Amino acid sequence: MADLPRILVVDDSRVVRISLIQHLKGDYEVREEGDGEAAWQTLVLDHSIRAVISDLQMPKLNGYELLERIRTSKLRRLQQLPFILVSGEETEEERAKAKALGVSDFVTKGAGCTEVLTRLKNLLVLTDAQEHLDAGREQMVQDPSSGLFTRKYLELQVAQAMSHAARHGIDVSLMVLGFDGFDSMGERLGVKVAEEVGNRFAKMLAGKMRQEDSLGHFGAGQFAVVSPGTAPAFCATFAERVREAVEVARLSVQGQTVALTVSIGLASVPTDLVSSAGALLDLAGERMHAAMRAGGNRTESGGVMPATRPISIQHALELLAANRQSVVVPHLPALAERLLPLMRLMNQELGLTLPVAEIEYLLCERKMNND
């Protein structure tokens, strides 16, 4: 009995309820109520009820009122619940009113067992099909572990943004980000831990995005951000902020600090001559992989590669605080050159004897050798 679908029968006539239960038992488990208000309370509390068979004329809350309350409920399961109205001598106008309120079907009073079971079975089959469709749509839209858009749905978002951009003459920018060495991180820490690291990164990224941007999965350890109305230069600026934030992050995993970097690929329309959303996503993905092959921890924007641009003094200090000295070392000459005016001022105002001239000479000599 516990495995049978549960149906609620609502009628103020005990005789009618017994008759309906006789038709349904064996195929369904039946609950019964004598008025609409009691039926409503039962529906709110009992999540297992799969359908309602209700009389129209009842005390406290009639069939119309019960139906309207169900269809306007904030509970989604009630909004879509099959509702069969037991009709007697209702007029076409009354039937039209029930249809407008969202009735699923009608059963004539005194209908035989076969008709009641057939109507009910058909409605439950349709409901199951709709639930499977909704579940499939949600699975396409949302990744169950992270709650982010799936790549398939993200492509739809890109297509919509491109269509809007074409009509209004604006840009659409897209960036694809991937953890450098994500596969080796999975081997070292375990796949589940690596995925959790990715999800934590995604939450950080979501907090830095605009409301109109869309964030979703691109691949394992890889994410994509769609930015409608954003020019490529602004997208590149945002990409560098994200890259630098990851570079200085101190992430503790299983009791140890993990150093992470990301490579980023950028693409945009109309700058990049692509004809479809899939092509734009693929182009940004290809550029991300190119950035990884070039050493990682850089951005590839299709012509401008800002990976070697000088880092700021503030960013250098953040890297040192995160015990990432090796990342700062290649930038030391450029950092020292920017600090020379500050060192001269310190010598002048604080009476120090910093070897400014010697440092300047060494920097000049190094630059000439590199040239």
> Where does the pLDDT of residue 42 fall: very low under 50, low under 70, confident under 90, or very high at 90 and above?
very high
100-128 mean pLDDT? 80
**Residues 217, 223 contacting (CB under 8 angstroms):** yes
Which of 81-95, 157-171, 333-347 has the weakest average pLDDT?
81-95
- Flag whether pLDDT at 90 surpasses 70: no
pTM (two decimals): 0.51
User: What is the rounded CA–CA span in Å between residue 234 and residue 173?
Assistant: 9
The larger pLDDT score, comparing residue 324 to residue 58, is at 58
Residues with Cβ within 8 Å of residue 255, at least 6 apart in sequence: none
User: What is the rounded CA–CA span in Å between residue 356 and residue 361?
Assistant: 9
Q: Do domains 6-140 and 151-309 have the same CATH topology?
A: no
Q: What is the pLDDT of residue 206?
A: 82
293-317 mean pLDDT? 75
- Flag whether pLDDT at 323 surpasses 70: yes
**Residues 334, 260 contacting (CB under 8 angstroms):** no
Q: What is the pLDDT of residue 308?
A: 42
Structure tokens at 58: 């009842």
In Å, what is the CA distance from 355 to each residue of 362, 363, 367?
A: 11, 12, 18
Q: What is the pLDDT of residue 306?
A: 42
Instruction: With residue 296 as reference, give the H or E element that holds it.
Output: none
Q: What is the pLDDT of residue 288?
A: 96
6-140: CATH number? 3.40.50.2300
Closest to 227 in 3D by CA, of 280, 300, 295, 290: 280
Q: What is the pLDDT of residue 330?
A: 78
279-293 mean pLDDT? 94
- Flag whether pLDDT at 291 surpasses 90: yes
User: What is the rounded CA–CA span in Å between residue 12 and residue 32?
Assistant: 10
Domain boundaries, the chain: 6-140, 151-309, 331-370
Q: What is the pLDDT of residue 186?
A: 82
Closest to 12 in 3D by CA, of 46, 51, 62, 50: 62
Q: What is the pLDDT of residue 275?
A: 83
H helical segments located in the chain: 14-24, 36-45, 63-71, 76-79, 92-101, 113-141, 151-168, 182-189, 191-206, 232-248, 277-293, 313-321, 325-328, 332-350, 356-370
**Full DSSP string of 30-65:** EEEESSHHHHHHHHHH-TTEEEEEEESS-SSS-HHH
232-238 mean pLDDT? 86
- Flag whether pLDDT at 127 surpasses 80: no
User: If you average pLDDT over each of 103-117, 220-234, 294-308, 342-356, which comes out highest?
Assistant: 342-356
Peptide bond into 270 cis (omega under 30): yes
Mean pLDDT of the chain: 83
User: What is the rounded CA–CA span in Å between residue 100 and residue 228?
Assistant: 39
Kindly report, residue by residue over 137-149, the tens digit of the pLDDT: 445 555 656 677 8
- Flag whether pLDDT at 305 surpasses 50: no
Amino acid at residue number 29: E
**Residues 55, 73 contacting (CB under 8 angstroms):** no
Which of 39-43, 80-84, 96-100, 306-310 has the weakest average pLDDT?
306-310
What 3-state DSSP class applies to 142? strand
71-97 mean pLDDT? 82
Which class would CATH give 151-309? alpha beta
